[in-house]
A and B are shown apart, each in its own frame.
Chain A
Amino acid sequence: MSQTQTVREDGTIASVSGPVVTARDLDARMNDVVYVGKNGLMGEVIEIEEDITTLQVYEETSGVSPGGPVENTGEPLSVDLGPGLLDTIYDGVQRPLDVLEDKMESPYLRRGVDAPGIELDKTWGFEPEVEAGDEVGRGDVVGIVEETVTIDHKVMVPPNALGEGETAEVVSVDSGEFTVEETVAELDNGVEIQMRQEWPVREPRPTVEKKTPTTPLVSGQRILDGLFPIAKGGTAAIPGPFGSGKTVTQHQLAKYADADIIIYVGCGERGNEMTEVIDDFPELEDPSTGNPLMARTSLIANTSNMPVAARESCVYTGITIAEFYRDMGYDVALMADSTSRWAEAMREISSRLEEMPGEEGYPAYLAARLAQFYERAGYFENVNGTEGSVSAIGAVSPPGGDFSEPVTQNTLRIVKTFWALDADLAERRHFPSINWNESYSLYKDQLDPWFQDAVADDWPDRRQWAVDVLDEEAELQEIVQLVGKDALPEDQQLTLEVARYLREAYLQQNAFHPVDTYCPPEKTYLMLTTIQTFNDEAFDALEAGVPVDEIIDTEALPRINRIGVQDDYEAYVDELQSDIESQIRSLY
């Protein structure tokens, strides 16, 4: 958090009710950061009415009493941006949790301790990218710092240092070791550039324009890449009841998505899930670079038992950091688990403010806030002329698993990819339990050229074939429920068998299997081809008069279910396809 304190007129506490505190005679603007009470708990101005200012407090308010002081910093809630954001875990207001542990000398979060978002005394090796005499505009890169083994951090002219189209001349720039607060370059208009910038979290960082994304965010998850792909710069929602696989899916994306930077926001969820990430990520390899995953990751953890106001702000903290790396020209993927908890935090604060409740008690501005958040995702031309993207993937936790509730519905109006989780599939341990009949991706068509180019020309046709078989299966299953499978004509029985392999081999993917957990698009494609080979051979045999039971019993077929766990899948698939062919053909 920002430490600058342009102190304005202080006030006194008038009332305390949970995270909502009112102050009298405070000279403040909306969203100013304040310090409340004797302990100096951090809070934010959320309403001003005559001489009463309402604050949401980011720390536990037990024992805070009326009459106590309220001090205004005069600055809106901002994040510190600069090298050191990666490989770090923050709370919802960007306090590094490791620093807090140190300062508090306790595994418990105590109150009234502040810490800057990035280390202030650490030095970084700065390599200039410009020379004295060069003209630079806003957002332009003046130098590079190796932030982690994976990421070169671009030190940029802050977007608010110059106007749109305005340039200034570099008068001095030095290479060497600097702290984030030391000046590394100076412009002729007097602007001094440091590695550290601040940005108010509730305000999007400027861009030139939003463009249509055409590159997929490859996730290594078959059902996502194969059937419902998301674009780099796209938006997706994962709604589902408890235990259906939202968090596992988000973790899989954080591990395997081919983004440059991952921002993972644990918003109002479990402490242990964040611990799991902290434990696992340093040991896992980034599939694109082979470096430790943490080298491209920043974590924001505001767990369910941490103060609710900081939960409200944590998604903003996350997306602002994401935009900062986008400005450097990177592809950033942000996961928010769960946006429902964020919405509930809004609801809780709103009800303490006694605002007029909308649907199910959520504030009337719920839809607008959700839309503003997802609007900050996209594939952009940045102010410095580079291109970068922010993909936003939000988990949604609908009460009772009922998708008709306001958070799910308002989210679906905005996002373009919908991965619907299904309790029934989860119960039978079909994972990922993404319902293939309900889910969709509106990016499919615009991403096809990429897959055709990178994997195979018939990628879209194969996908369509799989979708058709699964659709047909859904219809046939209704009949089977009434009369049993054996009452169906033979060709339909065969379709059911093909669909079974699609479900069990292709759509299912075990996140906990060392090989199956990540499936490159080439393997996804080969798997589908193999099942289609079976399909085509089987229908030929059926036409030639071979009984369906004999076809189904073909010895090689169960091996289809093992493709997922094969490391050396190409050889395996080759052999399997030719075995399927020859064995089925030998039946007639």
Chain B
Amino acid sequence: MSKQYQTITEISGPLVFAEVDEDIGYDEIVKIHTQQGETLRGQVLESSEGIVAIQVFEGTSGIDQKASIEFEGKTMKMDLTEDLLGRVLDGSGRPIDGGPDIVPDTKENIVGAAINPYSREYPEEFIETGVSVIDGMNTLVRGQKLPIFSSSGQPHSELAMQIARQASVPEEEADGEGEGSEFAVIFGAMGITAEEANEFMEDFERTGALERSVVFMNLADDPAVERMVTPRMVLTTAEYLAFEKDYHVLVILTDMTNYCEALREIGAAREEVPGRRGYPGYMYTDLAQLYERAGRIQGREGSVTQIPILTMPGDDDTHPIPDLTGYITEGQIYVDPDLNSQGLEPPVNVLPSLSRLMDDGIGEGLTREDHADVSDQMYAAYAEGEDLRDLVNIVGREALSERDNKYLDFADRFEQEFVDQGFDTDRALVETLSIGWDLLSMLPKEELNRIDEEFIEEYYREDGSEETEAEATAD
């Protein structure tokens, strides 16, 4: 089949246009052989009678009108095998760890088909990450997509690594049945620096996590267009391990912002009418086709849980990248520069953070019966304390009522004791809830209107407020 063409008519940004005299399928993959003997790969973006538009993954530099184009008559596939675990690949899925070639068990189209909503299983299995702000107030469940909204220079990678490390403790290990791990981490780097990537790699190696991980590396100096395929390869691998091989897969994608920039670049090269701030109008659909590949499927053991990381340009969550992400994912965790500069680890601001699948994943029989109420009450109390901080700057603490002062103290202690646990501390959920009750017991019982009376009866510490005072004088 594969006939070669030397018919390039136009090269524009990442795109190449060529004349053809056969029928080329939309989305088909293409090889471009340059005069220098390089082979680049691309994909058909538009196919008309006689002419095709091709997006070139490695970028178009080095291509001239004499380059020859070869159509392979098939869409892009990923080689899949359980042996991918422990391997490091480049952004297009080629091994870069010096290991053996990958012998595929099967191949799958990387675009991935949509999961039939009727075939999904609703995610409601609690994942204990050992991070209080997550377990206690933004609970993650298996099959959820929960992004981290951050900005440049913030410790989002540390948080993601902490989650990956602490959440991946296999269940069997606890029982002493060494059936081996059923947990896998797939790490997809898109346009991050080699330094950041090394941090992840070192952490993987240090904790021995690498052997149950697959790493895809598209670094800052790798071609931007390749970022279009990296997450799709990651997710195709994830689906295979989860739904064919029964793994609970945790996917970390970083940095989605770089992915979206690549999308914008291609849109611009195609001279499309741009949407908000120059990003393509179809970015919502495009991102959904990635994020919706998280989940569980009825009758299959495994799950795909996604933690995409994105750096918000200008720390602005109304920017299209975080905005569209938030509209698709099942919540979000905010990393806050102010809390970071105060030294909180992790510097998570719980107020705008949310886990939408929390309600069904917690409570009696799943975590603990008072979990939801405690979380709600802490949200309300912290929000109130936060409001008062502004006021206190104007009128001073003395002008505030006793009640208001309690909320101010609550907000301070909440940050110090609940949030700031350190990147190396693994807190059990009961401990998280217990700290929660410590803090809530600073407030008068009547103020706890989000909590069922029965739970107040059981968990409220009557000596709560005295304890604070004692501590305050001791300090």
- CB-nearest residue of chain A to B382: A428
List, in ascending order, chain A residues with CB within 8 A of B474's CB. Answer: none
Considering only residues 314-355 of chain B, those with a C-beta below 8 Å from chain A are 318-320, 323-324, 326-328, 330-332, 351-352, 354
Q: Confirm or deny: A437 has a beta carbon within 8 angstroms of a beta carbon on chain B.
A: no
A89 B47 Cβ-Cβ under 8 A: no
A107 and B297 contact, Cβ closer than 8 Å, known pairs A63-B27, A275-B120, A305-B114: yes
B117 A271 Cβ-Cβ under 8 A: yes
Complex Cα distance, B28 from A485, in Å, reads: 67
Q: Confirm or deny: B207 has a beta carbon within 8 angstroms of a beta carbon on chain A.
A: no
Minimum CB–CB distance from B166 to chain A (whole Å) comes to: 24
Minimum CB–CB distance from A97 to chain B (whole Å) comes to: 4
- CB-nearest residue of chain A to B276: A399
List, in ascending order, chain A residues with CB within 8 A of B394's CB. Answer: 482-484
User: Which of B96-104, B176-184, B279-287, B430-438 participates in binding chain A?
Assistant: B279-287
- CB-nearest residue of chain A to B381: A428
Q: Confirm or deny: B49 has a beta carbon within 8 angstroms of a beta carbon on chain A.
A: yes
List, in ascending order, chain A residues with CB within 8 A of B366's CB. Answer: none
Complex Cα distance, B115 from A480, in Å, reads: 52
List, in ascending order, chain B residues with CB within 8 A of A481's CB. Answer: 390-391
Q: Confirm or deny: B229 has a beta carbon within 8 angstroms of a beta carbon on chain A.
A: no
List, in ascending order, chain B residues with CB within 8 A of A7's CB. Answer: none
Minimum CB–CB distance from B264 to chain A (whole Å) comes to: 14
A428 B47 Cβ-Cβ under 8 A: no
Contact string, A266-293, partner B, CB cutoff 8 A, digits 1/0?
A: 1010111011101100000000000000
Contact string, A329-356, partner B, CB cutoff 8 A, digits 1/0?
A: 0000000000001001001100100000
A305 B116 Cβ-Cβ under 8 A: no
List, in ascending order, chain B residues with CB within 8 A of A303's CB. Answer: 114, 117, 288, 292
Interface residue from A63, A243, A347 paired with B26 (Cβ < 8 Å): A63
A16 B273 Cβ-Cβ under 8 A: no
- CB-nearest residue of chain A to B300: A107
Q: Confirm or deny: B6 has a beta carbon within 8 angstroms of a beta carbon on chain A.
A: no
B120 A243 Cβ-Cβ under 8 A: no
Q: Confirm or deny: B425 has a beta carbon within 8 angstroms of a beta carbon on chain A.
A: no
Minimum CB–CB distance from A339 to chain B (whole Å) comes to: 13
Contact string, A549-588, partner B, CB cutoff 8 A, digits 1/0?
A: 0000000001001100100000000000000000000000
A304 B288 Cβ-Cβ under 8 A: yes
- CB-nearest residue of chain B to A505: B449
B327 A242 Cβ-Cβ under 8 A: yes
List, in ascending order, chain A residues with CB within 8 A of B116's CB. Answer: 97, 100-101, 104, 106-109
A272 and B295 contact, Cβ closer than 8 Å, known pairs A63-B28, A399-B323, A429-B379: yes
Minimum CB–CB distance from B142 to chain A (whole Å) comes to: 12
Interface residue from A278, A357, A397 paired with B327 (Cβ < 8 Å): A397
A275 and B121 contact, Cβ closer than 8 Å, known pairs A400-B318, A484-B395: yes
Complex Cα distance, B27 from A399, in Å, reads: 29
Q: Confirm or deny: B383 has a beta carbon within 8 angstroms of a beta carbon on chain A.
A: yes
Interface residue from B113, B327, B354 paired with A108 (Cβ < 8 Å): B113
Q: Confirm or deny: B24 has a beta carbon within 8 angstroms of a beta carbon on chain A.
A: yes
Minimum CB–CB distance from B72 to chain A (whole Å) comes to: 11
B275 A360 Cβ-Cβ under 8 A: yes
B395 A62 Cβ-Cβ under 8 A: no
Contact string, B385-420, partner A, CB cutoff 8 A, digits 1/0?
A: 000001100110001110010000000000000000
Complex Cα distance, B48 from A24, in Å, reads: 11
List, in ascending order, chain A residues with CB within 8 A of B284's CB. Answer: 268, 304, 341, 344
Q: Confirm or deny: A152 has a beta carbon within 8 angstroms of a beta carbon on chain B.
A: no
Minimum CB–CB distance from B418 to chain A (whole Å) comes to: 16
Complex Cα distance, B405 from A484, in Å, reads: 12
Considering only residues 471-494 of chain A, those with a C-beta below 8 Å from chain B are 480-487
Complex Cα distance, B112 from A242, in Å, reads: 26
Q: Confirm or deny: A249 has a beta carbon within 8 angstroms of a beta carbon on chain B.
A: no
Q: Confirm or deny: B75 has a beta carbon within 8 angstroms of a beta carbon on chain A.
A: yes
Q: Confirm or deny: B83 has a beta carbon within 8 angstroms of a beta carbon on chain A.
A: no
Minimum CB–CB distance from A225 to chain B (whole Å) comes to: 22
Q: Confirm or deny: B427 has a beta carbon within 8 angstroms of a beta carbon on chain A.
A: no
Q: Confirm or deny: B304 has a beta carbon within 8 angstroms of a beta carbon on chain A.
A: no
A15 and B395 contact, Cβ closer than 8 Å, known pairs A427-B352, A485-B401: no
Q: Confirm or deny: B123 has a beta carbon within 8 angstroms of a beta carbon on chain A.
A: yes
Main secondary structure, interface of B, reads mixed
Complex Cα distance, B360 from A497, in Å, reads: 34
A305 and B289 contact, Cβ closer than 8 Å, known pairs A347-B281, A427-B351: yes
Q: Confirm or deny: B443 has a beta carbon within 8 angstroms of a beta carbon on chain A.
A: no
User: Which of A65-73, A230-238, A378-386 participates in binding chain B?
Assistant: A65-73
Q: Confirm or deny: A301 has a beta carbon within 8 angstroms of a beta carbon on chain B.
A: yes
Q: Confirm or deny: A45 has a beta carbon within 8 angstroms of a beta carbon on chain B.
A: no
B399 A487 Cβ-Cβ under 8 A: yes
Interface residue from A308, A399, A485 paired with B282 (Cβ < 8 Å): A308
Complex Cα distance, B111 from A185, in Å, reads: 50
Minimum CB–CB distance from B417 to chain A (whole Å) comes to: 20
Q: Confirm or deny: B23 has a beta carbon within 8 angstroms of a beta carbon on chain A.
A: yes
Complex Cα distance, B372 from A276, in Å, reads: 19
Counting contact residues on chain B (CB < 8 A from A), the size range is 35 or more
Complex Cα distance, B120 from A271, in Å, reads: 8
Q: Confirm or deny: B359 has a beta carbon within 8 angstroms of a beta carbon on chain A.
A: yes
Q: Confirm or deny: B446 has a beta carbon within 8 angstroms of a beta carbon on chain A.
A: yes
A361 B114 Cβ-Cβ under 8 A: no
B288 A305 Cβ-Cβ under 8 A: yes
Complex Cα distance, B331 from A427, in Å, reads: 12
List, in ascending order, chain A residues with CB within 8 A of B332's CB. Answer: 243
Q: Confirm or deny: A464 has a beta carbon within 8 angstroms of a beta carbon on chain B.
A: no
Q: Confirm or deny: B356 has a beta carbon within 8 angstroms of a beta carbon on chain A.
A: yes
B401 A110 Cβ-Cβ under 8 A: no
B46 A16 Cβ-Cβ under 8 A: yes
Interface residue from A61, A276, A301 paired with B27 (Cβ < 8 Å): A61
Minimum CB–CB distance from B17 to chain A (whole Å) comes to: 13
Q: Confirm or deny: B122 has a beta carbon within 8 angstroms of a beta carbon on chain A.
A: yes
Q: Confirm or deny: A460 has a beta carbon within 8 angstroms of a beta carbon on chain B.
A: no
List, in ascending order, chain A residues with CB within 8 A of B276's CB. Answer: 360, 399
B376 A429 Cβ-Cβ under 8 A: yes
B23 A348 Cβ-Cβ under 8 A: no
A16 B47 Cβ-Cβ under 8 A: yes
- CB-nearest residue of chain A to B43: A62
Q: Confirm or deny: A445 has a beta carbon within 8 angstroms of a beta carbon on chain B.
A: no
Complex Cα distance, B74 from A62, in Å, reads: 9
List, in ascending order, chain B residues with CB within 8 A of A9's CB. Answer: none
Minimum CB–CB distance from A505 to chain B (whole Å) comes to: 8
B318 A107 Cβ-Cβ under 8 A: no
B118 A60 Cβ-Cβ under 8 A: no
Q: Confirm or deny: A203 has a beta carbon within 8 angstroms of a beta carbon on chain B.
A: no
Minimum CB–CB distance from A187 to chain B (whole Å) comes to: 39
- CB-nearest residue of chain B to A89: B118
List, in ascending order, chain B residues with CB within 8 A of A487's CB. Answer: 395, 399
A270 and B292 contact, Cβ closer than 8 Å, known pairs A98-B118, A429-B379: yes
List, in ascending order, chain B residues with CB within 8 A of A482's CB. Answer: 394
Complex Cα distance, B378 from A429, in Å, reads: 10
A486 B399 Cβ-Cβ under 8 A: yes
Considering only residues 78-124 of chain B, those with a C-beta below 8 Å from chain A are 109, 111-123
B49 A66 Cβ-Cβ under 8 A: yes
Contact string, A309-322, partner B, CB cutoff 8 A, digits 1/0?
A: 00000000000000
Q: Confirm or deny: B45 has a beta carbon within 8 angstroms of a beta carbon on chain A.
A: yes
- CB-nearest residue of chain B to A362: B281
A68 and B23 contact, Cβ closer than 8 Å, known pairs A360-B275, A361-B273: yes
- CB-nearest residue of chain B to A305: B292
Q: Confirm or deny: B310 has a beta carbon within 8 angstroms of a beta carbon on chain A.
A: no
With contacts A18-B26, A361-B273, A482-B394 known, what are 18 further pairs, Cβ within 8 A?
A: A15-B48, A17-B26, A64-B25, A66-B48, A108-B115, A109-B113, A272-B295, A275-B122, A304-B289, A305-B115, A306-B114, A348-B285, A399-B320, A428-B351, A481-B391, A483-B395, A504-B449, A512-B372
20 interchain pairs, CB-CB under 8 A: A15-B48, A16-B26, A63-B25, A63-B75, A65-B47, A98-B118, A106-B116, A109-B115, A268-B285, A271-B117, A272-B120, A304-B288, A304-B289, A357-B273, A360-B276, A399-B323, A428-B380, A428-B384, A429-B376, A512-B359
Closest 9 A-B residue pairs measured CB to CB? Answer: A400-B318, A304-B288, A15-B48, A107-B119, A428-B383, A67-B23, A242-B326, A97-B118, A305-B292
